[in-house]
Structure 1
Amino acid sequence: MSEATETANQTPSSPVDEVVRLCQELIRIDSTNYGDGSGPGEKEAADYVVARLREVGLEPTVVESDPGRTSVVVRLEGEDRERPALCIHGHLDVVPANADDWQVDPFSAELKDGCIWGRGAVDMKDMDAMILANIRDLARRGVKPPRDIVFAFFADEEAGGVKGSHYVVDHHPELFEGVSEAVSEVGGYSVTVPTSAGDTRAYLVQTAEKGILWLRLTAHGRAGHGSVPNPENALVRLAEAITRINEHKWPREYIASVRELLDGLSGLTGTSYSDEDLDELLDHLGGAQGFVRGTLQDTANFTMADAGYKHNVIPQSACASLDCRFLPGHDDDLLATIKELAGEHVTVDVVHRDIALDAPFEGPLVEAMKTALVAEDPGAEVLPYCLSGGTDNKALSTLGITGYGFAPLQLPADLDFAPMFHGIDERVPLAALEFGTRVLQRFIATC
């Protein structure tokens, strides 16, 4: 019997007792998603989840879109089966990590400075562990949640969910029968802000997220010798297109969730703001302000480039990848703007496109989130926000499911948390992980 199995067979008295171990064991499984079909895939991580569920008598559904691209879904029956069901979900894949850049091995799950370090500690094997710990606790105690809950662990979120949530939704919609709402990443974490009564923790619940438009730009020109002047150099044409797009000023628009966050933060801190001058107000959010700044307008950021095959050969084409994120209803206008800025010698191809989401910051589910947070952190404030990235809630929305970001963490004021998403030295405090597990337990019991 392995050490992990021996540990798992020791019955914990609460989900908090095993969440750290579950998180470490998940992080130690390399489930890197390179976005091109290479890499180990999610199967080992999915097998781990399946094994932990079977240990407590559950039999999940396993869905494989391609070999190794594995998602796991399990439904727990609720007390009131007439109520619409809830989905609580996470993803098992992580973005690449260059070990040379890190203080620790990114797949070691090392305990250091009161944190678990490793790729996925923040995005999002911490939440996966919190979910898994709570499922196991419910199953051990034989306790039913207030309504049916579908728990899902998806593949491929970091590449748009094509091999994960979108595949599961498209091919197995019956797994989500009766589900009306969902919660997952990226929200529920705290930021410490100054108020007249002293520093206060504000928890940001994600109620909206921008849409995704991943584009491939290809500049066309005339191949030639590197020593001969060439006015049709594809590299130069691509560089000019990149410059025009990079210098474009996207107009600001404040959607409801963004406005509500800004107004709530202004009320808490006593810091006034205008639509043209937000810097002082947003500075109160620390590292989280990057997510918010990304939701004030559409964005377009170049992420990769590829051109040429020899030092003395001018190539006939040059390519670049562009990550665009749009506010609700802006996708067509954004694409038209990019094509215009790219110019006549550059073609623009859509690699991946997905919708923007916007949900109300009200209703019983939102109140359950607020109540669970405040019960564990009295005096805390809860505010909505829009995520500049995207989540698997996009796929679920095609089934009419309203999604929120709620992966609760109480964070130290000096921890620059948000930049660790896809960043270096990703880590989650043990105390925050245990706090989030308790909050999620309360939430599940009252949702």
Structure 2
Amino acid sequence: MSTNDAAVAHPSAVDEVVELCRDLIRIDTTNTGDTTTSAGERSAAEYVAAKLAEVGLEPKIYESAPGRASVVARYEGADPSRPALLLHGHLDVVPADASEWTVHPFSGEVRDDYLWGRGAVDMKDFDAMLLAVVRQWKREGRVPPRDFVLMFLADEEAAGGYGAHFLVDEHREVFDGVTEAVGEVGGFSVSINNDLRLYMIETAEKGLDWLRLKVSGRPGHGSMIHDDNAVTLLSEAVARVGRHRFPVELTPTVRAFLSEVSEVLGIEIDLDSPESAIAKLGPIARIVGATIRHTANPTRLEAGYKENVIPGKASAVIDCRPLPGRTEEFLEQLRAVIGPDVDIEHIHQQPGLETTFDGPLVDAMAQSLRHFDPGARPVPYMLSGGTDAKAFARLDIRGFGFAPLKLPADLDFAALFHGIDERVPVDGLRFGVRVLDRFLSQT
């Protein structure tokens, strides 16, 4: 067989990553938050398992409910005495309305040097990068420095009950020896100028607390004067929450990030009011700006059953994201905003996370980025949302967000998460594969 024939038979990770990501995007894994209306992750899990098995790994599919499937495989390393490294991505995506998109959200179309589709950045790009690198390593007979535990998970977009948390609760054995984990959302670039790019590595993420506010009043006829209207009382409380701005509180991660920003931008940052400095970061300021304080946003309202009947009950859902380690303080502040006449029910609660920006794993991330981008400046940051790292933290696994992408300076990357026309640069995928390959070889 000639060299060219061998290359066709066994493409490199750089050659294969776009095709793998395209295939995954074309598998609809929409997660509505309700299993009865979700597409389910089983087809994607079977695809991933087949790709891993094809190169000699022994993946196992874990189904937490019909169609809700995750894939786990262990890639044995050269030194089994060392702690294992967990590498994880999720297979589910948020819903997409095709009528709002330039291309069909599940087409996996390549256009204008981007791969388009729901999940392109959240997070089938990293799934594909990881698959591509692992497949190349196995074909070449490469052995990881230590055991890698590979996970492709269900249900991350609805807090992970059918995915990461299910595995932690029901299959703890798959985490044997794992002390550190790498997944989303981090490793992407933010251009400062032509010669300098910050690469945001996630070392912290805010907590999650979905609350239901409930108000009871006196039902009655809609045509009469009514001073005890549950809808009115609830609406006033919701409006107070929606307009409230919690005070600035900077965690160690955010302070470290702002210190880096101060240096690269050459500006003095007022740590009591850092918004003006954060605004200079462009679109990514929306994520960073949400990490300097607690946030609480109303997302759902429910009341009434007929146009001319004043209901006796009304409820609302609030999406709350407290800073790590400060949930109780946040709830006290929120209660003062809501007022005494509203009942609060916790729908789902997960604590925030924060680790330090140091250690061999961080060093390997930084070195790998700089090797392929001399203008790279890796910095720690806090994610305003959440990831499956919250589930793994229950096992004292230290988590990082590192899915490397070198992005065009004019791309509004933050807007692509759960947004319309989600897409990832083709060159960014290939860059990510190169960085991930080098990073994993140094872990």
TM range, smaller chain:
over 0.9
5+ long unaligned stretches in structure 2: 1-6
Q: Select between 323-332 and 145-154 the one with higher mean Cα deviation.
A: 323-332
Q: Secondary structure at the match of 1:440?
A: helix
Distance 2:303 2:420 in 1: 28
1:88 aligns with 2:87: yes
Distance 1:360 1:116 in 2: 34
Q: Is the 8 A contact 1:219 1:319 kept in 2?
A: yes
- Counterpart position of 2:4: none
Q: Is the 8 A contact 1:70 1:155 kept in 2?
A: yes
Where does 1:41-440 land on structure 2 (aligned, <5 Å)?
41-194=40-193, 199-440=195-436
Shift of 1:10: 5.5
1:34 aligns with 2:32: yes
Q: Select between 408-417 and 141-150 the one with higher mean Cα deviation.
A: 141-150
Q: Secondary structure at the match of 1:411?
A: coil
Distance 1:82 1:378 in 2: 34
Amino acid aligned to 1:441: D
Distance 1:230 1:443 in 2: 65
Q: Secondary structure at the match of 1:215?
A: strand
Q: Is the 8 A contact 1:221 1:345 kept in 2?
A: no
- Counterpart position of 2:19: 21
Q: Select between 147-156 and 302-311 the one with higher mean Cα deviation.
A: 302-311
Shift of 1:336: 3.2
1:32-69 CA-partner distances (Å, limit 9, x unpaired) = 11112221111111111111112112221211111111
Distance 1:136 1:330 in 2: 42
Amino acid aligned to 2:110: L
1:3-52 CA-partner distances (Å, limit 9, x unpaired) = xxxxxx95333111111011011011111111122211111111111111
Amino acid aligned to 2:313: S
Shift of 1:342: 2.7
Distance 1:119 1:223 in 2: 44
Q: Select between 97-106 and 405-414 the one with higher mean Cα deviation.
A: 97-106
Q: Is the 8 A contact 1:339 1:347 kept in 2?
A: no
1:199–1:374 distance in 2 versus 1, CA, 3 Å: closer
Q: Is the 8 A contact 1:218 1:348 kept in 2?
A: yes
Distance 1:199 1:311 in 2: 61
Shift of 1:185: 0.4
1:291–1:100 distance in 2 versus 1, CA, 3 Å: same
1:383-440 CA-partner distances (Å, limit 9, x unpaired) = 1101111111111111111000000000000001012111111110000011001111
Q: Is the 8 A contact 2:304 2:314 kept in 1?
A: yes
Distance 1:92 1:116 in 2: 17
Shift of 1:161: 0.7
1:344–1:254 distance in 2 versus 1, CA, 3 Å: closer
Q: Select between 52-61 and 179-188 the one with higher mean Cα deviation.
A: 52-61
Distance 1:248 1:279 in 2: 16
Distance 2:424 2:280 in 1: 21
1:234-283 CA-partner distances (Å, limit 9, x unpaired) = 11111111122223331211111111111111111212210244344223
Instruction: Report % sequence identity.
Output: 52
Q: TM-score, normalised by structure 2?
A: 0.95
Shift of 1:83: 0.9
Q: Is the 8 A contact 2:275 2:289 kept in 1?
A: no
1:318–1:10 distance in 2 versus 1, CA, 3 Å: farther
Q: Secondary structure at the match of 1:207?
A: strand
- Counterpart position of 1:5: none
Q: Select between 320-329 and 307-316 the one with higher mean Cα deviation.
A: 307-316
Amino acid aligned to 1:341: V
Amino acid aligned to 1:381: R
5+ long unaligned stretches in structure 1: 1-8
Amino acid aligned to 1:177: D
Distance 1:11 1:443 in 2: 26
Shift of 1:199: 4.3
Distance 2:306 2:294 in 1: 37
Q: Secondary structure at the match of 2:199?
A: strand
Distance 1:98 1:225 in 2: 39
1:100–1:13 distance in 2 versus 1, CA, 3 Å: closer
Q: TM-score, normalised by structure 1?
A: 0.95
Q: Is the 8 A contact 1:193 1:284 kept in 2?
A: no
Q: Is the 8 A contact 1:12 1:18 kept in 2?
A: no
Shift of 1:340: 3.8
Distance 1:377 1:314 in 2: 62
Q: Is the 8 A contact 2:206 2:352 kept in 1?
A: yes
Distance 1:347 1:337 in 2: 15
1:106–1:226 distance in 2 versus 1, CA, 3 Å: same
Q: Select between 329-338 and 435-444 the one with higher mean Cα deviation.
A: 329-338
Shift of 1:339: 3.4
Shift of 1:106: 0.8
Q: Secondary structure at the match of 1:414?
A: coil
1:327-373 CA-partner distances (Å, limit 9, x unpaired) = 12211222233334333432211111111111110110000000111
Aligned length: 436
Distance 2:280 2:406 in 1: 17
Distance 1:132 1:285 in 2: 32
Amino acid aligned to 2:176: E
Q: Is the 8 A contact 1:257 1:385 kept in 2?
A: yes
